[in-house]
């Protein structure tokens, strides 16, 4: 395993070292020590490497990730895994606001709680939160799956499109045009797979599914006053 010590090396060098790894690199295992809440750690990776961050991070950890697997042995600040394309990010602690925002693909696992706006405008990413999520999560979520093993805060799925939202616990309130939906066998299959990959022992049958009521898709003159 290659070790990068952020007490000795600055952030640009950390990220450029990781960016230098290509698809055929034989240095596939990395650890970053002394992150001390720094921003933008392991952002923009594009190689099938595994990076373990030994501590908590600041903003945008693992943003725009492609291919890499990033483990954070702590909590992450705002915007973790923002715009992730593929790969996986596993956070042992909590995540601050807008985790997984605009993510196109890959898997984000948060083993603690996520705060507000988790999965905002998600576009294909899969997010599994072992704990609770905050308000305005999955706002304008377009596609992908958001799985919440705990409770969801206010205005879940406001103005969402075709993302699937699965919540095991309570939902404080649903956002505009978000509704509870029937859980069909194919959804249970999706959930089973995601829960396994996220190392959660929750049972798919314990979840409810939420999604778009599709009333905001087209202009409706009766709603003109609300626009």
Partner 1 sequence: MCGIVGLFLKDKSLEPKLGEMLTDMLIVMTDRGPDSAGIAIYGNDKDSNSKLTIQSENPDTDFAKLDSELGKLIGCKVSMRLADTHAVLEMPAEKIEAARESLSVIRPDVRIMSAGDVIEIYKEVGLPRDVAARFGIQKMSGSHGIGHTRMATESKVTTMGAHPFSTGVDQCLVHNGSLSNHNSLRRKLRRDGVHIETENDTEVGAAYLTWKMNQGSTLGEALESSIDDLDGFFTFVVGTKDGFGVVRDPIACKPAVMAETDQYVAFGSEYRALVNLPGIEDAKVWEPEPATVYFWEH
Residue 58 binding partner 1, by CB under 8 A: yes
Task: From 12-20, 88-96, 141-149, 214-222, give the range in contact with partner 1 by CB under 8 A.
Answer: 88-96
Task: From 54-62, 82-90, 140-148, 167-175, give the range in contact with partner 1 by CB under 8 A.
Answer: 54-62
Among 111, 123, 130, 135, binds partner 1 (CB under 8 A): 135
Please work out the total of residues on this chain that contact partner 1, with binding judged by CB under 8 A: 19
The smaller minimum CB distance to partner 1, of residues 116 and 212, is found at 116
Q: Smallest gap, in angstroms, from Cβ of residue 150 to partner 1?
A: 14
Task: From 93-101, 139-147, 178-186, 207-215, give the range in contact with partner 1 by CB under 8 A.
Answer: 93-101
Q: Dump the DSSP string for the chain.
A: -EEEETTTS-HHHHHHHHHT--TT-S--EEEEE--TT-SSTTTT-BSS-EEEEES---TTTTTT-BS-EEEESS-B-TTTTTT--SSEEEESS-B-TTTTTT--SSEEEESS-B-TTTTTT-EEEEEEESS-B-TTTTTT--EEEEEESS-B-SSBTTT--S-EEEESS-BS-B-TTEEEE---HHHHHHHHHHHHHTT----GGG-EEEEE--SSSS--GGGGGG-
Q: Which residues bind partner 1 (CB under 8 A)?
A: 36-39, 56-59, 75, 77-78, 93-94, 96-97, 115-116, 134-135
């Amino acid at each position: 395993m290659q070790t990068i010590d952020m007490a000795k090396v600055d952030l640009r060098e950390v990220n450029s070292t990781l960016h230098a790894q290509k698809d055929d690199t034989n240095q596939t295992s990395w650890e970053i020590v002394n992150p001390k809440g720094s921003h933008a750690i392991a952002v923009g990776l594009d190689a099938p490497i595994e990076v373990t961050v030994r501590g908590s991070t600041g903003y945008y950890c693992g943003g725009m990730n492609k291919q890499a697997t990033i483990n954070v042995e702590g909590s992450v600040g705002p915007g973790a895994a923002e715009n992730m394309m593929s790969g996986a990010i596993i956070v042992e602690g909590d995540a601050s606001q807008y985790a997984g925002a605009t993510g196109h693909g890959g898997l984000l696992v948060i083993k603690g709680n996520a705060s507000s706006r988790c999965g905002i405008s998600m576009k294909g990413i899969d997010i599994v939160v072992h704990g609770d999520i905050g308000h305005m999560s999955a706002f304008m979520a377009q596609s992908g799956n958001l799985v919440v093993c705990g409770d969801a805060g206010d205005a879940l799925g406001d103005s969402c499109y075709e993302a699937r939202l699965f919540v095991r616990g309570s939902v404080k309130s649903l956002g505009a045009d978000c509704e509870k939906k029937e859980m069909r066998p194919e959804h249970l299959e999706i959930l089973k797979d995601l829960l396994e990959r996220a190392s959660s022992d929750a049972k798919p049958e314990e979840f409810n599914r939420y999604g778009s009521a599709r009333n905001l898709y087209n202009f409706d003159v009766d709603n003109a006053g609300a626009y």
